Amino acid sequence: MSSSISIYQTPAVLAQTERLLWSFEHWTGRSLLPGLEKISEKTPVMWAQALFNAQFVVVSHGVEADPIFNYANQTALDLWELDWSAFTQMPSRLSAEETFRADRAQMLAQIAEGGFFDGYSGIRISSQGRRFSIENVTIWKVIDPQGHSHGQAATFEQWVYL
């Protein structure tokens, strides 16, 4: 990737941003970027930049048997203490400590059935071993307008280091 292009401007991230925004609104009836819908000239890059630089966490993983993260905004990268390349090669289960992975897996199975869940809380761990509690998390199934599944995503704006 050229150093003159930001990660959020790549075709894959632009497409994932569109799916994240569309499916969040589809399931919840809310905008993932409230207030931005008032801007008359919306470009995919503008939406992608806004989501990538948001002051809340947004992450998503794909549909692999052991799902791999395929998106993290800058707030998430900072929280997990990883760069884009490392984060998007990590199985999403590794974002939680081993003792909390069964609870996480059960929640994700429920999302696969019902589309989304508001109010999830859990414990996560950064790449450097920093534990943190996440609260009031919305988790949703990432789909495109045709209904094809592209994995699951989560967003939250509250966390506390433990």
| Domain residue ranges in the chain | 7-161
From residue 116, give the alpha-carbon distance in Å to each of 60, 84, 113, 142.
Answer: 13, 25, 9, 9
Kindly state the DSSP code that residue 127 receives in the 8-state scheme. Answer: T
The model's confidence at residue 88, banded by pLDDT at 50, 70 and 90, is: very high
**19-55: per-residue pLDDT in tens?**
999 999 999 999 999 877 665 567 889 999 999 999 9
Entry pTM: 0.90
Report the CATH architecture of 7-161: 2-Layer Sandwich (3.30)
Q: Give the pLDDT confidence score for residue 1 in this predicted structure.
A: 43
Question: Helices 11-28 and 44-52: crossing angle, nearest 10°?
Answer: 80
List, as one string, the DSSP characters of 98-118: GGGHHHHHHHHHHHHHHSEEE
Q: How far apart are the first and last CA of the chain?
A: 36
